[in-house]
């Protein structure tokens, strides 16, 4: 059960509510986000919500049978829309495009890609600076200097930045330069990181784990929400299956299931989802038709020379063609 409280609830009224819930054997967690105050009540007994509904300070009460509560659509029927500022929204009914290199490599590389995004009216750029790599000998990113390099060129052009944070200690050094924190597939169940991201007021894009179930992804989002941050989006990026002809199995089913189970925006990552450059645009389009609120994909001036994930990265021509196709089908998507 979720109880929404009035923001200005008095301490006396709050303690009456707590007392009543304890008597009913509920375990209660207080959640105060940037927007609302909630009590998450977990209990074995079914109670008549009218027995608490009359208490002062309560705005609304919802029964939520899912094991994840705050991210469930059972209590919040309106889908969440994320405002990034400068009239840039995610989940507003038009598909969001986020594009950029797998890794930030140099000022020149960033300048070229920023130019490509401006030319095509794309206002969110992805680019990793802390890179989780399967091999320790692979390029692991430029770190905070790379992020500052990205920021210097994005900020004056009103381009928002989405980039991966790998550990709690990086949040503080990154926060002034980031518009959306990305939690990578490998960190999808790093609960310390999720807890810490619950305490910042920046949107978070949470990727599904490499072998993560849909419910595990929803619970990961619940970790962040329950620590105070409601500005979340879920990302399907492919999962590991027995099939190994492509990098991952892009789970298109997950998009509709997530839209049904949660009010959070769902973003598709076709680049990591299939891992093969020539198939990426088709999977991107398919994911939008499957109901995704947006796509995040990798683009580079010269994918063959990219320091990471070149095999799944579009060049500017391919990216432009995809953007044009997305724009052309926009009106068919709702």
- Among 39, 102, 284, 295, contact with Mn ion (rule: CB under 5 A): 102
Whose Cβ is closer to Mn ion: residue 247's or residue 261's?
Answer: 247
- Which of 153, 149, 177, 154 is closest to 164 using CA atoms? 177
Whose Cβ is closer to ligand PEP: residue 132's or residue 228's?
Answer: 132
Considering the rule CB under 5 A, would residue 164 count as an interface residue with Mn ion?
no
Least distance in angstroms from the C-beta of 139 to ligand PEP: 12
CA separation for the pair 244, 250 (Å, rounded): 12
Binding mask of the shown chain, residues 270 to 309, with x at each position contacting Mn ion by CB under 5 A = ---------------------------------------x
3-state secondary structure of 215: helix
Percentage helix, strand, coil for the chain under 3-state DSSP, each rounded to 5 = 40, 20, 40
Region label for 288, one of left (φ > 0), alpha (ψ between -120 and 50) or beta (otherwise): alpha
Q: Which does 273 bind (CB under 5 to 8 A by kind): ligand PEP, Mn ion, none?
A: none
3-state secondary structure of 95: coil
Q: Which stretch binds Mn ion (CB under 5 A): 14-22, 79-87, 96-104, 187-195?
A: 96-104
| Residue least distant from Mn ion (Cβ) | 102
Q: Copy the structure tokens of residue 286.
A: 């398919």
Whose Cβ is closer to ligand PEP: residue 6's or residue 186's?
Answer: 186
Least distance in angstroms from the C-beta of 269 to ligand PEP: 6
Considering the rule CB under 6 A, would residue 143 count as an interface residue with ligand PEP?
no
Place of tokens 């926060």: 175
Q: What are phi and psi of 206, to 5 degrees?
A: -105, 120
Whose Cβ is closer to ligand PEP: residue 231's or residue 272's?
Answer: 272
Whose Cβ is closer to ligand PEP: residue 72's or residue 308's?
Answer: 308
Whose Cβ is closer to ligand PEP: residue 95's or residue 270's?
Answer: 270
- Among 165, 185, 196, 239, contact with ligand PEP (rule: CB under 6 A): 185
- Which of 255, 258, 320, 211 is closest to 68 using CA atoms? 258
Considering the rule CB under 6 A, would residue 272 count as an interface residue with ligand PEP?
yes
Pairing state between β 124-126 and 96-100 = parallel
Whose Cβ is closer to ligand PEP: residue 57's or residue 270's?
Answer: 270
Q: Which stretch binds ligand PEP (CB under 6 A): 50-58, 111-119, 179-187, 315-323?
A: 179-187
Considering the rule CB under 6 A, would residue 102 count as an interface residue with ligand PEP?
yes
Tell me the DSSP string of 266-315: EEE-HHHHH--GGGHHHHHHHHHHTT-SEEEEEB-S-GGG-SS-GGG-B-
| Residue least distant from ligand PEP (Cβ) | 184
Q: Which does 203 bind (CB under 5 to 8 A by kind): Mn ion, ligand PEP, none?
A: none
Whose Cβ is closer to Mn ion: residue 14's or residue 206's?
Answer: 206
Q: Which residues contact 172 (CB under 8 A, 6 or more apart)?
A: none
Give the HSE-up count for residue 53: Cα atoms under 13 Å, Cβ half-sphere: 10
Spell out the alpha helix ranges (H) of the chain.
11-23, 50-53, 107-119, 143-154, 168-174, 191-197, 214-226, 252-261, 270-274, 280-289, 316-329
Considering the rule CB under 6 A, would residue 207 count as an interface residue with ligand PEP?
yes
Least distance in angstroms from the C-beta of 300 to Mn ion: 11
Least distance in angstroms from the C-beta of 185 to ligand PEP: 4
Least distance in angstroms from the C-beta of 309 to Mn ion: 4
Q: List interacting residues with ligand PEP (CB under 6 A).
A: 102, 128, 132, 184-186, 207, 237, 269, 272
């Amino acid at each position: 059960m979720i109880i929404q409280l009035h923001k200005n609830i008095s301490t006396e009224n709050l303690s009456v509510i707590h007392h009543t819930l304890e008597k009913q054997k509920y375990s209660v967690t207080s959640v105060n986000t940037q927007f609302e105050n909630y009590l998450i009540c977990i209990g074995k007994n079914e109670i008549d919500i009218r027995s608490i509904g009359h208490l002062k300070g309560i705005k609304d009460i919802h029964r939520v049978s899912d094991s994840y509560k705050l991210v469930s659509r059972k209590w919040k029927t309106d889908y969440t829309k994320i405002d990034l500022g400068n009239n840039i929204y995610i989940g507003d009914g038009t598909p969001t495009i986020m594009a950029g290199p797998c890794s930030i490599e140099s000022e020149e590389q960033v300048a070229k890609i920023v130019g490509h995004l401006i030319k095509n009216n794309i206002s969110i750029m992805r680019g990793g600076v802390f890179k989780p790599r399967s091999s320790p000998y692979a390029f692991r990113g430029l770190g905070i200097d790379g992020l500052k390099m990205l920021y210097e060129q994005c900020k004056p052009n009103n381009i928002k930045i989405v980039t991966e944070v790998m550990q709690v200690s990086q949040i503080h050094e990154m926060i002034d330069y980031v518009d959306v924190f990305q939690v990578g597939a490998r960190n999808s169940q790093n609960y310390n990181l999720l807890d810490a991201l619950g305490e910042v007021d920046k949107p978070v894009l949470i990727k599904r784990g490499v072998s993560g179930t849909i419910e595990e992804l929803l619970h990961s989002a619940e970790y962040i929400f329950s620590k105070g941050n409601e500005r979340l989006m879920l990302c399907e990026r492919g999962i590991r299956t027995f099939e190994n002809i492509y990098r991952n199995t892009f789970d298109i089913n997950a998009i509709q299931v997530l839209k049904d189970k949660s009010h959070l925006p769902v973003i598709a990552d076709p680049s990591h989802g299939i891992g093969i450059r020539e198939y990426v645009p088709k999977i991107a389009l398919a994911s939008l038709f499957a109901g995704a609120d947006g796509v995040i994909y990798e683009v580079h001036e010269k994918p063959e020379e990219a320091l990471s994930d070149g095999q799944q990265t579009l060049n500017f021509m391919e990216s432009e063609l995809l953007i044009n196709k997305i724009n052309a089908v926009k009106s068919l998507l709702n």
